């Protein structure tokens, strides 16, 4: 499945581009060309007629008496040369490069060198807190994937990697190379490949928990209670209820629901579509509407009920398991987008994590502590 978001947005991931991807493709094309050229040369060599080959194979008659000959050893078998196969992408090529030795000069200012040891030291001090939290999150997802036997082939990661990278070129400022752009944004290919892989693993883990019947398709008749104030609406509620009851009775007598929508519904967004709403995740439906839908079977119609300044009549059309294969694919993607953030946070909360660089931050605990702690006194006004 292709997801337009994912952990990339949860972790604040950026898009990057690797020249290695193009090198692998060029190598594959070169291998295929060499194989094709070799086969072409073999086909172009002239072949002897079969009759001539048979005549050469027949021995000439001899007048001398036959002498017993020793059995000749079988000629050595020539191993057939295997046809080169296209190389498949490997996560090895996206591993971080080895660290340089400490005395390696990485830059200079007026002939004064800046060595790798200085760079490594400041990177550890300046960026270690962020990097270690990213590594912790990746390790949490990797461990859960191993525990559940979930994996993603490198070829699929490579395909997603390339797909996302195609959009990176539009972000490169004029006069800057793509490679420099990515390095300045702290997203070399090794980091991006790891991020994409973790995203896809998390998506597969969440897919296992998706319940298609969390999605409901329904139609509605909405009759608004007139009035700009609660008092006016209370005065006009009985008229709206009577109109809704009339529509319901006609439906019970055989009027098509879509025709009843045209005649009675006052919702401009769904009236022209026979009252039909798009697929809705029940966790995001208004509670009273969700309660009515869950009590219905597909094809059943609810009695009129009051909800948020209206009277409504609902018809439950389908649940997610009744959708077409293409619709189910879209629903699964929606479910993953909805659930993946909470899923990752749950994994983190269950994991035993130690971090000697920075204390892990828990927003829920911080909010609770802030609510219990006394507020500091207000600042005094500055005298003029």
The pair of structure tokens assigned to 94 is: 């996206």
DSSP structural state of residue 101: P
- What's the rounded mean pLDDT across residues 89-106? 80
DSSP code string of 27-92: HHHHHHHHHHHHHHHHHHS----HHHHHHHHSPPP--SPP---PPPPPPPPPPPPPPPPPPPP-GG
Q: pLDDT: is 187 or 302 the higher one?
A: 302
Give percent of the chain above pLDDT 70.
70
- What's the rounded mean pLDDT across residues 111-122? 95
- Residue 113's alpha-carbon distances to 54, 108, 116, 126, 184, in angstroms, are 79, 4, 10, 21, 21
SS3 172: coil
- What's the rounded mean pLDDT across residues 336-344? 94
Q: Tell me, what's the pLDDT at 15?
A: 32
Q: pLDDT: is 311 or 11 the higher one?
A: 311
213-323 under CATH 3.40.50.620, yes or no? no
Q: Is the pLDDT of residue 41 over 60?
A: no
Q: Tell me, what's the pLDDT at 58?
A: 46
Whole-model pTM over 0.75:
no
Q: pLDDT: is 107 or 185 the higher one?
A: 107
User: Is residue 165 within 8 Å of 15, Cβ to Cβ?
Assistant: yes
CA-CA distance, 191 to 14, in Å (whole number)? 10
CA-CA distance, 194 to 20, in Å (whole number)? 15
- What's the rounded mean pLDDT across residues 36-44? 42
- What tens digit of pLDDT does each residue of 188-198 get? 888 988 999 99
Identify the helix (H) or strand (E) that includes residue 223.
strand 215-224
CA-CA distance, 207 to 48, in Å (whole number)? 62
Q: Tell me, what's the pLDDT at 374?
A: 55
Q: Is the pLDDT of residue 34 over 70?
A: no
Q: Is the pLDDT of residue 75 over 70?
A: no
- What tens digit of pLDDT does each residue of 222-270 get? 999 999 898 999 999 999 999 999 999 999 999 999 999 999 999 999 9
Domain with CATH 3.10.50.40 in the chain: 213-323
Pairing of strands 280-281, 112-115: unpaired
CA-CA distance, 119 to 114, in Å (whole number)? 8
Give the range among 83-87, 155-159, 230-234 with minimum mean pLDDT: 83-87
Q: Is the pLDDT of residue 44 over 70?
A: no
- Model confidence at 164, pLDDT cuts 50, 70, 90, reads confident
Q: Tell me, what's the pLDDT at 98?
A: 86
Q: Tell me, what's the pLDDT at 371?
A: 61
Q: Is the pLDDT of residue 348 over 80?
A: yes
Give the range among 68-72, 92-96, 261-265, 354-358 with minimum mean pLDDT: 68-72
- What tens digit of pLDDT does each residue of 306-337 get? 998 999 999 999 999 999 999 999 999 999 99
């Amino acid at each position: 499945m292709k997801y337009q978001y994912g952990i990339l947005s949860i972790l604040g991931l950026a898009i990057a581009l690797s020249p290695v991807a193009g090198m692998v493709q060029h190598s594959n094309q070169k291998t295929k060309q060499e194989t094709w050229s070799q086969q072409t040369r073999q086909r172009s060599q002239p072949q002897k007629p079969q009759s001539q080959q048979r005549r050469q194979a027949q021995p000439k008659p001899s007048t001398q008496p036959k002498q017993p000959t020793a059995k000749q050893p079988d000629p050595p078998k020539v191993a057939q040369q295997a046809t080169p196969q296209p190389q498949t992408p490997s996560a090895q090529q996206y591993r971080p490069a080895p660290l340089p030795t400490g005395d390696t000069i990485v830059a200079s200012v007026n002939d004064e060198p800046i060595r790798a040891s200085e760079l490594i030291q400041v990177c550890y001090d300046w960026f270690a807190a962020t990097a270690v939290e990213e590594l912790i999150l990746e390790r949490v997802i990797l461990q859960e994937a191993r525990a559940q036997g979930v994996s993603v082939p490198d070829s699929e990661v490579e395909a997603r990697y390339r797909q996302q990278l195609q959009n990176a070129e539009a972000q490169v400022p004029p006069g800057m190379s793509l490679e420099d752009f990515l390095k300045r944004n702290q997203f070399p290919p090794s980091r991006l490949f790891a991020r994409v892989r973790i995203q896809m693993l998390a998506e597969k883990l969440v897919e296992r928990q998706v319940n298609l019947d969390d999605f409901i398709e329904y139609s509605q008749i909405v009759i608004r209670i007139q009035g700009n104030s609660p008092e006016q609406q209370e005065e006009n509620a009985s008229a709206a209820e009577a109109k809704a009851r009339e529509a319901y009775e006609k439906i019970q007598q055989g009027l098509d629901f879509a025709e009843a929508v045209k005649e009675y519904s006052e919702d401009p967004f769904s009236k022209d579509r026979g009252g039909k709403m798009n697929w809705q995740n029940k966790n995001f439906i208004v509670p009273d509407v969700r309660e009515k839908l869950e009590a219905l079977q597909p094809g059943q119609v609810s009695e009129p009920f009051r909800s948020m300044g209206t009277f409504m009549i609902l018809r439950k059309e389908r649940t997610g398991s009744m959708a077409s294969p293409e619709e189910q694919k879209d629903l699964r993607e929606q479910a993953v987008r909805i659930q993946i953030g909470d899923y990752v946070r749950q994994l983190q909360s269950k994991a035993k994590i130690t971090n000697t660089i920075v204390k892990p931050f828990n927003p829920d605990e911080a909010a609770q502590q802030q609510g219990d702690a006394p507020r500091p006194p207000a600042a005094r006004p500055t005298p003029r």
